[in-house]
Amino acid sequence: MGFPAQRPRRLRTTPAMRRLVSETEVRPRQLVLPMFVREGATEPVPIGSMPGVVQHTRDSLRKAAAEAAAAGVGGVMLFGVPEHHDATGSGAVDPDGILNVGLRDVRSEVGDDLVVMSDLCLDEFTDHGHCGVLDADGGVDNDATLEIYARMGVEQARAGAHLVGPSGMMDGQVGVIRTALDEAGFTDTGILAYTAKYASAFYGPFREAVNSQLKGDRKTYQQDGGNAREALRELALDLDEGADMVMVKPALAYLDVLARVADVADVPVAAYQISGEYAMVEAAVARGWLERERTIMETLTSIRRAGADVILTYWATEAATWLDRG
């Protein structure tokens, strides 16, 4: 037999052959669309650093949620953009605060056709932009913040969230929220734990998206980008405290962490393709440097290949229209 005896290209000869032996696929049901709802907005407000993404009005939010459901998207994740901020982020626990109002709007629009998720964090609501309340020295007070998170979780569940997503990286947040939900009778409301959330430069466009008031950085509570073993410690803690799903954020720069988490987690694993990842692709496409659809699908496939069962991406609805329903 002539050289080479092994010819892997035989399984790449036709589109049908490649489809038959494909190892990884992306389905609409695995995608979650993050959305921003802005208090007082009378028309959608474009986010300059995220072309194609807007701060929604209540009406456009409902419409976008319905479109996502029609496309077969698995879920939506809501973020609130309030008009007013204060030191304790009081709008986050107000039943009539913009995030809770938005949750009620979306749930009334789509019912159970989508998994409705809510960001459970104070950063959008505080006048200092941190994910928790500050102590007398200006640091983030972990335990005082947990008390507010517990109240937020109950209000978000009451507003209709199927899953709450504590993203502040406070120690003990999952356990405190689980207890509060159960005591309030929301035993069926799940928790999507932001298990490995890194202090990343890729969050830049998100600051614009939520009108962030951040002063300083979040390195005292978000993880160091060089640490992978630490993510597994966070995973063990979140699972022990009752997390129903876990997440790695950002996605593309932390695919190795995602793979390690997915290897050992006994719950579904999500990854968040964040604002900076979205923005850099769209910017390169706008300059003619990348082919848009192929690039987007390659990034989504890489996240699935690394082990994500669920992907939060701003391309969710659009990408779903490119895929067969599954």
The answer to whether 167 touches 132, Cβ cutoff 8 Å, is no
How far, in Å, CA of 74 to CA of 310, rounded? 9
What are the E-state strand segments in the chain? 31-38, 45-46, 54-56, 75-81, 115-120, 163-166, 190-197, 245-249, 269-272, 310-312
What distances in angstroms separate CA 173 from CA 194, 286, 318, one per listed residue?
A: 10, 40, 33
Report the candidate in 121, 136, 28, 38 with the shortest Cα–Cα distance to residue 76: 28
How far, in Å, CA of 210 to CA of 53, rounded? 12
The answer to whether 175 touches 242, Cβ cutoff 8 Å, is yes
How far, in Å, CA of 45 to CA of 3, rounded? 61
Give the Cα-Cα-Cα angle 293, 62, 67 (nearest 5 degrees). Answer: 35
**Cis upstream peptide for 15 (omega within 30°):** no
Positions marked catalytic:
197, 249
Strands 115-120 and 54-56, sheet pairing: unpaired
Residue 111 tokens, joined: 């019912």
How far, in Å, CA of 234 to CA of 218, rounded? 17
How far, in Å, CA of 263 to CA of 234, rounded? 15
Q: What is the largest CA-CA distance in the chain?
A: 78
The answer to whether 99 touches 118, Cβ cutoff 8 Å, is yes
